[in-house]
Structure formats: structure tokens, C-alpha cells
Amino acid sequence: MNKELAKTYDPKGIEDRLYEKWMNKKYFHAEVDRSKKPFTIVMPPPNVTGQLHMGHALDNTMQDILIRYKRMQGYNALWQPGTDHAAIATEVKVIEKLREQGIDKDEIGREEFLKHAWEWKEEYGGKIINQLKKMGSSADWDRERFTMDEGCSKAVEEVFIKLYEKGYIYKGSRIINWCPVCQTSISDAEVEHVDQDGFFWHINYPIVGEEGKFVEIATTRPETLLGDTAVAVNPEDERYKDLIGKMLKLPLTDREIPVIADSYVDKEFGTGCVKITPAHDPNDFEVGKRHNLPEINIMNDDATINELGGKYANMERYAARKAMVEDLKELGLLVKVVPHTHNVGTHDRCKTTVEPMIKQQWFVRMEEMAKPAIEAIKNGSLKFVPERFDKIYLHWLENIRDWCISRQLWWGHRIPAYYCDECGEIVVSGSQPEKCPKCGCTHLTQDEDTLDTWFSSALWPFSTLGWPDKTEDLDYFFPTDVLVTGYDIIFFWVIRMVFSSLEQTGKVPFHHVLIHGLIRDSQGRKMSKSLGNGIDPLEIIDQYGADALRLTLITGNAPGNDMRFYMERVEASRNFANKVWNASRFIMMNLEKAEVPSSMELSQLTSADKWILSKVNTLAGDVTENMDKYELGIAVQKVYDFIWEEFCDWYIEMVKPRLYNDDDNTKSAALWTLKTVLGNALKLLHPFMPFITEEIFCTLQEEEESIMISEWPQFRNDWDFKEDETAVETIKEAVRGIRNVRTGMNVPPSKKAKVYVVSEKQEIRDIFENGKVFFATLGYASDVEIQTDKTGIADDAVSAVIPDAVIYMPFAELVDIEKEVERLKKEEERLTKELARVNGMLGNERFVSKAPASKIEEEKAKLARYTDMMAQVQERLAQLVK
């Protein structure tokens, strides 16, 4: 060996260089190869506007661990990357940029705006990809896709037309989430529910023809009263049976509305009477459909009251609320106002309170498409890890509403629907129709709206592999194997991919969905801009290296569970990297000085060598099993514990005497074992910490090109040395016993003492005889005697007991008796004074009668403790002075 590791581990010096090597060597790239089994992961596409945050860091670390593991196992591993066009987020950023330049989006028009959007995408779009590369992500960047690239756009158009022709896509008026600031419909995925302090306004609705009689309702949104078309009561509610069918005078309007019976009403909640506003509430909309109620939308797109609002027309929604409440008070119809904290939907982008509103939009009928997606979980073709997420998935699908897919934006896939200017006929087509099929008119206008971003990302697992074309890639790499994602987007994205894939390809898009939790701050809070508690992964990488960040994110990580991020843990991860580096340097410096055989007869190995070989062998089997079950946190903990404890703290210390003794005929066996075990341990650590393992491995194994393409260690029967494991564990037990005794007596490690091993069992004596060299080193022994009984051992020898043996050390060799007697006498004096003080206090009547009970108990506890300590000191003195 002539290459050597740098003196200190410096991630900055190695990470970029190694990543470039991997890229140049095309290790991440996968091509169809029928001789190999494929393994595919599709990357959840980060927003093109995105900046790497801890959630991305965790998500991509987990995917990278799996893909590196499978690559080493010999699979043809493809990690398919790409970015999402993120319609609303990107449009907002582009509008902001134009505004800074004094440009108005509406004035420049759609075509010109889209030019600016594409320029913005080119300038900022690659940012997050470069950040993912800093993490060590081994995705196939040659295949990078974008949800609005030509292939993905073709897939989107094809799916829209197919679903429309099948009757699954329709245009209609339904309740949608409307953002009054961004002025677009938004998906459920973009609605963030937050607790807000509000009120319940109790309002009396007069009963028509019954002077002085009212129905009392309670509402959190009094302004929507203008759109009420009924009041509902539960048909089982005895209080209101005689009201059903009567008419009510709707306050502040000239309209009358009926009282209807519907089991949707909860008798126990509020007054048991519910105002029904079908145009402004999803549940009311369903009630309205059941009872044929009119739908009255009383709001403009900017959340001002529209012309149907009479005197409140053109008022902003909350200003109108205030004015209406005042007017109700004057009319004597406001019963009371009760403070109430309720869950309110806000737009996750701009934080505006979302307005449920009835609008003409494009929808996907979900009832039929949901059925195969439900069946996929029930028949096991799709599995969640952990399984408990099945319930959430099924609950969502079994209660699914039709999906609103149109957005009032310019950035995105424009809806391929055209309207005849003459007769209004809708034509859905991949290109502009020459004439209207109904009336022959040649003037047709394309729908202004674009599709929900989730519509295109729902096709991601197959559109990225060439669908709708029948490509080799699609045939070979699809369905993919596992999707890694956070539990916060199960419904929105995972479910949409499942039903879209089953509908378009007849197959599930992936076999497993590995769900991870959120990364929270050290106090357990969600990381957010508003709290200012986010931690930038790139800053951590800059300070500690990508490997330390990756190890921190995966240590203690259990599928589906949130985890807290502590800087102390990043430091611990860096310390582990230093430990691995320094141990490897030590091993390599010793390998430099000697001829190390390339192979070794296992019979030439000592018990210690066989023990560590057996340990790393068991580790390979265990870690493989954990990885296959997606228990990545458990797997890495086992590798960490093995390297730090078994390999560094025990084995390296055990073999030092052999390394330093050129006459020891087992030296080459020790060196071969060190090199072999380190090589295997590095391979098992590689998926988690790719950079440091590559740097060490390529220095250690000069004949191998890269650890990335080396073979994953497998359990080998010929390395399974159970007897030697038992033997070394016995010696370790004895060493721990010796160390505990010495620590208890404050004996410094530099002070050696003779050690006697006494056991009646031949097999135990043989174990210590065979391991004498390293037992002496680890047990700080000047000499080791192994015998069947206590013959020749001084009476004052101290002992440590282990199963089937006792370890003795002559007291005089451990301790300077004169000094120890002097120390014990001083301790006896101190305890005599303390006992006198405590006894004095407890014997004092005044103290006992006046002191608090807790103080008396405290003094009694001291008395017991000092009495106990005094007995030990005096017993020890008696032994020594004898």
C-alpha cells in the first residue's frame, strides 16, 4: 500500500471531489439490462422554486440509502429524479419579480408572462438539484425530468383526453377551495388547517306568520347568511318536529327560506338548527343537492360581497360581517356572541383564509377510480410501511369527493378544452380544432385555466419512464419498488399516483410506500419560517459534512415517526466519523509496515480474530434483514455500535500486542483480519455515510475502483464462529469485572497488577490460556496465572466474579497500603465529625419539635448514610492494619 489517509478527517476536502468522481464514472446511471434485476425509486419531485430544507434532506437520505444498498447487492438500481413546476408558488415568485421591474402580469398577457416564467425556471430551477447533490444523492441525473417537459406534458394531455372521453372528467359547479389573494382554486393539499380564535354568533330567524317566534341558529361566518337557502334540523329532534316545512324570514334580506329535515344535523351541537348555504360550504352543498335547494354565491373572487348582497355589496368579507352583526343587533335578532376557537382552512402559500365557494370548474369523478386503489391495499399489491397508514389511506379513499383539477393560473399545463364562440360547444382535443363539430363555426377559444399541479405529479412514476409511449424503460423499470415520502402528503400525492397508475397502466405505481415523519426542532416544534426555528441542511454540511448530517437524520429514525433534531447529535455523528477515520489510519499504518496476505486459512486465526470476523458476519445478516424491512434507523445503529464498540474499543485494543511484536507468528492473521473486517464494516456503513467510506475504502482496497460498486457483504457459514464468540465474550466479561474493581478503588490504568483466573472448568481455563496475550493488555495485568483453586493467592486479594470463574488481584499490588491507611484514617475523622453533628441535631428536643418534617427526614437519611460509610471504612482499615 502506498496511498495513505490524510492526518485529520476533513469532509470539505473530500466530498465534492468524490461526488465528481462518481458522476464522471456514471455510477448513478442505469440502462435497461435484462441480465439484472431492476430496482426503481422515483424521487418525489421538489418544487422548482424550492430550497433544500430538513424534510427534503431526510427524504432524499432515505432514498439514497436504499438505492446504494440495492446497487451494492447487484440490482440494476435506478433512482429517477426531477422537479415539479409548482404552479402557484412559481407564478407568485414570477409576479413578484415582474412587479419589482414595474411590469403588470395582466398588461403583458399570457404569452409574454410565460416567457418570463420559463426564464425564471432556467435561472433558479437547478438550485435544489445542486443542493441534493451536496447531500450525496446518487440519483440518475442523466434522466432528470420536469413536470412540464415535453414528455410529461404529452402524458398529461393524453390522460385528460382519455378521462374526458370516458366520462370521468366533467365541467360543473361544485364547492371548491378558493384563495381570494391568489384568485385561484386550490387543492385540499394546499389548504393548511389552523386553529383561530373566533366567535359563534347566535342569530334569530323569524318564523313567517308567527309573530314573536324565532328559530335560533349559531354560525362562525355570519356574512354567508346572505346566501342561506334553508335552515336544517335533525328529523329525530323532538324540539323542532313541528317546525319542519315552515318558512323563515331570512334576516337582512327580503327572502324567505324553508326549514328542512336532514340527518346531517347533529342534535347535540350548537342549537340543533343549522343554516344551509350550499354555495359556501361543502357539507351544505351536499344537503342542498339532496333537497333541491338553490345555490346562491354571494361573493366576488376577491372575497368582497357581490351585487346579490344588497347594501353590503362591494364590502370586503370581514367588513361586511361587522356591518351585518351591527344591523342584526339593531333589529334585535342578535341573541348572543360566544367566543369559540375553530379550525380554519388557510392557503399554505399566502396564509389567507380560504373561502369555500361554488364555481364552474373542471372535476375528476372519483367514485369509480377510487375502487381499484382501495382494492390494491386490500389485496396486498400495495403496502404501507408502517402498516398503520393503511387506515388513513382507506379512510380518505372511501370518503373521497370529486377532485377539482382546474386552476386560474397561467403557469402550468393548459386545459386542452376549446369552446365554440357561436354555440358554446366544448371540444376536448390535443390541438386547436378547425371547426365546431356541432355548428361548424371556425372560431373556437381555448380554456384559460391550467391543471392542478398534482394532476401532472400523479403521473410521475410512469410519465418519467416514457409513458404513454411503450418504451423499454417503462417495460423494465415499472412498476417502481418503493416510494419514500412524509405522512403529510399521503392523501394528496400517494393516493393520486395510485389511482392514476391503476387507471392508465393497470398496475400499482410502486409496491411499497415508506412513510417517514417530520423533523422537529429540539423542543419538538415543527420547523417553520414564522417560528424562525428552521435549520439549513447546507449550513450543517458546510460545518460538519454531509455524512454527519445523514447519520444524524437516520439514527433513531423509525418509519412514520417524527424525530427531534439536536445539534449535539450532529457533533456526535462527526465524532463517529473521526473515530472511523482514526481507526482506519491506525490500521493502514500497520498494514504499511508488513506483508498482508490476500487470503488466509481460517484455521490460522486466533480466537479473537474469529470472534470479530463472526461478529461482522452476523452484522451483515442482521443489517440486510433490517434494510429489507425498511428499518434503516435500526440498521445504522447496529453498524455504529459494532464499529465503535466491538471493532475499535475491543478488537483493535486486543490485537495491539500482536502488531507491536514482530516475533508473534499470528501478526499476519491479525493484519488480515483488521483489513477484512474494516472493509466489510465500511461496506455496511456506505449507504448511510457514502463519502468517508469511499475515501477510506479506496485507500484500503487499492484493487477496487469504488465502494459504491463493491459487493454488499452477505452472511457466510464459514465465518460463523459461535464458540469463539462465547470465548471472547467470557474474557470481555472478566475485563469489565477487573475494570469495575479498579475504578471502585481509584486505581490508575498505569498501575499493573498480577491477575489470577480461578475456575474448576477446563474449558474456561482454556479460554483464558488462548486469550492470555490480549486479556493481559485489556485487564492491565503484569502477569496472568490460570488455576483450578485459590492456592497461592493472598487472603487480601480483591475479586470479580464471572460465570464459572473468579478473577483475583492481590490487594498490595493494586494499592500503596501506607497511603491507603492514611486516606482511610482521614475519612474516619471526617465521618466522626459528621456523625456527631447529625446525632447532636436529632437529639436536640427544640430542633426536633420546630424543624419542618422534610428537614428532619433529610438529617435522618444523612445519619443512615454516614453510619453505613463509617462501617465500610472501619472494616477496610481493620483488613489493612491486620
DSSP 377-417: HHTTSSEEESTTHHHHHHHHHHTPPPEE-EES-SSSPBP-E
How far from 646 is each of 506, 511, 629, 641, 654, CA to CA, in Å?
A: 50, 37, 25, 7, 10
User: DSSP strand E in 473-601: where?
Assistant: 480-486, 510-516, 519-520, 563-564
Whether the Cβ atoms of residue 730 and residue 773 lie closer than 8 Å to each other: no
Residue 66 CB neighbours (<10 A): 23
Between CA 299 and CA 325 the distance in angstroms is 18
Strand residue runs (E) in 490-646:
510-516, 519-520, 563-564
Strands (E) in 650-750, as ranges, are none
Query: Under the phi-then-psi rule, with left for phi > 0, alpha for psi from -120 to 50, and beta for the rest, what region is 86?
Result: left
Q: Are 344 and 192 in contact, with CB atoms under 8 Å apart?
A: no
How many Cβ atoms are within 10 Å of 620's Cβ, its own excluded? 21
Which grid cell sits at 116?
A: 418570463
For residue 311, the SS3 value is helix
Nearest by Cα to 639 from 720, 522, 554, 562: 554
Tracing cell 333589529 back to the chain, one arrives at 331
Q: Using an 8 Å Cβ cutoff, are 685 and 676 in contact? A: no
Separation of alpha carbons 208 and 249, rounded Å? 6
50 vs 129: CA distance, rounded Å: 9
C-alpha cell, 154: 404529452
CA nearest neighbour of 767 among 809, 808, 720, 732:
732
DSSP states of 61-105 as a string?
Answer: HHHHHHHHHHHHTT-EEEEE-EEB--HHHHHHHHHHHHHHTT--H
Amino acid letter for position 762? Q
Tell me, rounded to whole angstroms, the distance of Cα 86 from its chain centroid. Answer: 22
Cell numbers 361566518 correspond to 221
Q: Are 565 and 518 in contact (CB under 8 A)?
A: no
C-alpha grid cell, residue 10 = 476533513
Alpha helices in 593-645 (DSSP H): 607-628, 632-641
CB 450 within 8 A of CB 87: yes
Using N-to-C axis directions, what is the helix angle for 537-544 and 567-592, rounded to 10°?
Answer: 30
**Alpha carbons 36 and 486: distance in angstroms, whole number:** 30
At 636, the amino acid letter reads V
Residue type, position 176, single letter: I
Q: Does 359 appear as a known binding residue?
A: no
What's the Cα-to-Cα distance from 556 to each of 64, 545, 584, 621, 843, rounded to whole Å?
17, 19, 25, 20, 55
Cα–Cα dist 149/151, whole Å = 6
**Residue type for 855, please?**
K
Can you read off the three cell numbers belonging to residue 329?
A: 343587533
Among 531, 521, 452, 525, CA closest to 493: 452
Asked if 817 and 876 count as a contact pair (C-beta separation under 8 A), the reply is no
Distance CA 450, CA 831 (A): 85
Chain-centre distance of CA 833, in angstroms?
Answer: 59
Binding site for ATP: which residues?
529
Binding residues: 529
